Structure 1
């Protein structure tokens, strides 16, 4: 999560009918997302070999190669050009804060409404190596979001191979430059949106979903949700219905308050979509003692929680992609 800048959810008063797909079918695909695969990927992605993934540095180049290789191996294409998964961003765009860098973009085309797109995003970068030489591995921030998207994309591709292609397109967006000012997502929305913003149905942004914050220690699984009701009450209600139908996690909306002093709504990549009137949900586990420190390592991730949270986001993306009408903007 970028360095710059209570109420617990009750049952929604509105009911949101879920997509007509048989729930057992959706659950079958969601269950291909496993703690074991998430762990295996994260132990690579948040290893010392990636040198903290600082924007524009060699470790970040290893990160984009790791992400691209996943999509190639699973037969998931890119909307940029065949075999080209990198949205290149020149150093000049970063205001002298970084060298040339790249977003990584893959997608699955929809069967009925391919021009309508759901974007699932996470930032691929982190803060690099500290002055004392310690590597900031960024396992939670945002290795957890990165591997979650990779598993979600694989689950959707499994559905495609089984004959259940989503009605709308899914764009898997791994953005760079988040830690230095949300640059990668800003480049996508303000300079080079691969799909027209007016055709973008929603953005589900994942930034730190692998840990437990002090408030929720010794409790069950939970997530902070931020922004779900800011632009579309229908999105918020659908999110509640998906959770209540399949998971019953605690949704904590503390940081969604307009007067939240942490201003998390403005501090991750969903904000660049929200400012363009695209409904968003920001999924977040809260900060912890290892935030932006070399101790944010993969051995401290709660992989059972990460699995369930990732499956939840897959279910939400499935509903957005397969419901008859796109969600409405308030």
Structure 2
């Protein structure tokens, strides 16, 4: 946490607290935008969205109110149609909980929803949904030294320790300690120790959030709109059990039967060789693309092969029975359980997952730009089909526990 931002944070808090219960309902105002998805825009947006001033964006807290207010303001600036409750950009998530943690704001857990209307007079009543989650895990106590954790995570990753079990064999501990100390000492020559308590979630899921914004801007600025409408949903409370996506699919603001596909991005800003075994600049995991509709999976593959620089798509985490259960762990699943074709795009888990070291400075923005551009192209292609992606796989009970 950088103390130089404290005064600015309290100023922002004062403004947000005064309007936390208000809805952004004014008609969209069109401003100059770009149809290009750019590294520069993604960088500036993510540094703002994953800033300490957002206080970790935990759903139900002032930090998440600030984050969702930012998204609604951007949607309005881009001229997007409000798609939430009562002509607003917000869909409030009702909760039966009567317990509030410190810093919580009653009634503040909310999805952000916007629409770009399609051009076809009939197909515009159907939607291709693009989503990410707007929340993260908030503030940790006690604070931890940022650079020590970064150095430790780097060494654990090098030694092949999985992110869920950060342990080292006894025979290698002494060498690992020496390497961590060397890394910390080199950082100390650059700057003094800094305590950090804010999980900024730059990759999880700031990267997906700003990618959806960039895709929205590109489609809104294009003189030729897709035939179908584009439904943009930034879900809340993903970190608390996919609650925002669950609420939206059970209480949709558009007819659920009109959603022809859902494309989900969660953690799409890393995936380098130092982040994940087998990773690199062309690495991208794809999950769920054939679990409801094999046609959608074929579209993803075909469009990737047609790119000037295709991604190396990794499907291993989509395997039945995979212990990570990635298919069940992000918002797309809440759509798939209702028979909506889905595809989940991610560059994968890494050592900074749910750590204070998940910061904007460690994102690969060129990689992020390429992922956003790819998802944009898939969305527009599906939106222009003369038919819905065919559902040809069994769909179970929406209320059943997810089994991968």
Q: Shorter-chain-normalised TM-score: which range?
A: 0.7 to 0.9
Question: 2:244 — aligned with what?
Answer: 184
- Of 174, 185, 203, the match for 1:140: 203
Question: 1:229 — aligned with what?
Answer: 290
Deviation larger for 181-190 or 92-101: 92-101
Number of aligned residues: 297
* C-alpha distance in 2 between matches for 1:79 and 1:35: 27
User: Does the residue aligned with 1:326 lie in a helix, a strand or coil?
Assistant: coil
Equivalent runs, 1:274-293 vs 2, <5 Å? 274-293=336-355
Shift, 1:31, TM fit: 6.6
Which structure would you say has the larger Rg? 2
Does 1:128 pair with 2:138?
Answer: yes
* C-alpha distance in 1 between matches for 2:72 and 2:53: 17
Is contact 1:30–1:314 with CA below 8 Å preserved after alignment?
A: no
* C-alpha distance in 2 between matches for 1:284 and 1:220: 13
When normalised by structure 1's length, the TM-score is 0.86
Shift, 1:216, TM fit: 3.1
* C-alpha distance in 2 between matches for 1:264 and 1:150: 24
Is contact 2:85–2:91 with CA below 8 Å preserved after alignment?
A: no
C-alpha spacing 1:267/1:62, structure 2 compared with 1 (3 Å): same
* C-alpha distance in 1 between matches for 2:301 and 2:278: 20
Question: 2:302 — aligned with what?
Answer: 241
Is contact 2:228–2:383 with CA below 8 Å preserved after alignment?
A: yes
* C-alpha distance in 1 between matches for 2:382 and 2:375: 11
Question: 1:261 — aligned with what?
Answer: 323
* Gap runs ≥5 in structure 1: 1-28
Question: 2:44 — aligned with what?
Answer: 40
Q: Which stretches of structure 1, 4 residues or more, deviate above 3 A after TM superposition?
A: 80-83, 93-99
Alignment deviations for residues 88-143 of structure 1 (CA, whole Å, 9 cap, x no partner): 11232799787421100001111211111111010000000001140000000000
* C-alpha distance in 2 between matches for 1:96 and 1:282: 32
User: Does the residue aligned with 2:137 lie in a helix, a strand or coil?
Assistant: coil
- Of 225, 241, 255, the match for 1:196: 255
- Answer 1 or 2: higher relative contact order, Cα 8 Å, separation at least 6: 1
* C-alpha distance in 1 between matches for 2:326 and 2:306: 27
* C-alpha distance in 2 between matches for 1:270 and 1:185: 8
User: Does the residue aligned with 1:214 lie in a helix, a strand or coil?
Assistant: coil
Is contact 2:34–2:217 with CA below 8 Å preserved after alignment?
A: no
* C-alpha distance in 2 between matches for 1:305 and 1:93: 40
Is contact 2:35–2:220 with CA below 8 Å preserved after alignment?
A: no
Question: 1:13 — aligned with what?
Answer: none
Shift, 1:40, TM fit: 0.2
Question: 1:155 — aligned with what?
Answer: 218
Alignment deviations for residues 34-78 of structure 1 (CA, whole Å, 9 cap, x no partner): 111000000000000000001110110010011011111111111
When normalised by structure 2's length, the TM-score is 0.71
